[in-house]
C-alpha cells in the first residue's frame, strides 16, 4: 500500500490526518480489526459534494432554472462520476479493506470508490473547511458539470416516463432488490416499459433506478 502522506499532500491535509485515515477505512476492515469505518464520513461527504456542486452551478450557470440545475447536479453527482474522481486520486490503492473484500477486488468496485471519495471530501471539510472541500470536488468534477450543462436537462427517469406516456404505455414500473452483506449492499433495479425490460445496479435504490432508466433509454429504438 502506498504512503498515505502522498494522498494527504494532494488534499492539503497533514500526513498523519486521522480524518483521512478514517475516510480510507472500509467497514469490512473495521469489522475485522476494530476502529471506526468511513460510513459516517461518507454520509457527511454526500451532503458536502451535493452542496459544492450546487453552489458552483448556481454561481456559474445563471441560465439554468431550478429544475435544470437539479438535473445537471444529478448527472454529475452519481456513482460513475464519483468513482472516476476516486480513481483519479488513486483512492483504491489507499483503501483499507477486509480480507474478503480484497479477495473480491473491492478496490476496483465503482460503488465502493464513490463512497470513499465522499468520505475523503468529508475529511477535508472537517479539517480545512468547506472551501477546501469544494476545491477538491471541483478539481475532479468541474469538466463534468460543464458537459452536463450543455446536454438535455431532463433526467433519465423523467425522459423515460414521458416517452412511455406519449405512446400510451403508462409510467415505467421499477422493482428493486438488494444483494451483499449489510456493510456492502448493492441495489439492483429493473424497470419495465411495455415489453422492454432493463436492469442496472447502484449503491442506493435511487441510483439503481436512475441507472436502470438510463439503460432502458439506450435500448429504445426511437428515443
* Calpha distance 45→43 (Å, rounded): 6
Whole-number Å distance between alpha carbons of 81 and 88? 11
Active-site residue, 135 included: no
The phi, psi pair for 2, rounded to 5°, reads -70, 165
Choose among 100, 140, 99, 132: nearest CA to 116: 140
18 phi/psi in degrees, rounded to 5: -70, -35
CA separation for the pair 80, 82 (Å, rounded): 6
Q: Which of 42, 46, 155, 156 is catalytic?
A: 46
Instruction: Return the C-alpha cell found at 144.
Output: 463534468
C-alpha radius of gyration, the chain, whole number = 19
Strands 173-179 and 186-193, sheet pairing: antiparallel
Strand partners, 175: 190
Q: Which among 79, 118, 156, 184 is annotated as catalytic?
A: 118
Active site residue 32: no
- Could you give the 3-state DSSP secondary structure of residue 124? helix
Catalytic residues: 46, 118
Amino acid at each position: 500500500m502506498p504512503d498515505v502522506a502522498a494522498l494527504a499532500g494532494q488534499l492539503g491535509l497533514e500526513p498523519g490526518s486521522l480524518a483521512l485515515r478514517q475516510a480510507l477505512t472500509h467497514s469490512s476492515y473495521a469489522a475485522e480489526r476494530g476502529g471506526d469505518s468511513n460510513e459516517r464520513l461518507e454520509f457527511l461527504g454526500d451532503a458536502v459534494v451535493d452542496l459544492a456542486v450546487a453552489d458552483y452551478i448556481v454561481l456559474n450557470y445563471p441560465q439554468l432554472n431550478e429544475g435544470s440545475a437539479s438535473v445537471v447536479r444529478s448527472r454529475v453527482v452519481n456513482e460513475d462520476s464519483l468513482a472516476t474522481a476516486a480513481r483519479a486520486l488513486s483512492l483504491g490503492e489507499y483503501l483499507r479493506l477486509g480480507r474478503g473484500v480484497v479477495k473480491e477486488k473491492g478496490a476496483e468496485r465503482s460503488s465502493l470508490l464513490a463512497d470513499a471519495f465522499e468520505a475523503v471530501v468529508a475529511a477535508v471539510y472537517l479539517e480545512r473547511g468547506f472551501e477546501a472541500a469544494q476545491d477538491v470536488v471541483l478539481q475532479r468534477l468541474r469538466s463534468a458539470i460543464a458537459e452536463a450543462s450543455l446536454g438535455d436537462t431532463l433526467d433519465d427517469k423523467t425522459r423515460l416516463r414521458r416517452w412511455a406516456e406519449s405512446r400510451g404505455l403508462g409510467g415505467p414500473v421499477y422493482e428493486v432488490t438488494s444483494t451483499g452483506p449489510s456493510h456492502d449492499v448493492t441495489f439492483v433495479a429493473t424497470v419495465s416499459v411495455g415489453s422492454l425490460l432493463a436492469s442496472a445496479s447502484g449503491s442506493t435504490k435511487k441510483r439503481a433506478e436512475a441507472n436502470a432508466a438510463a439503460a432502458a433509454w439506450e435500448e429504445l429504438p426511437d428515443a
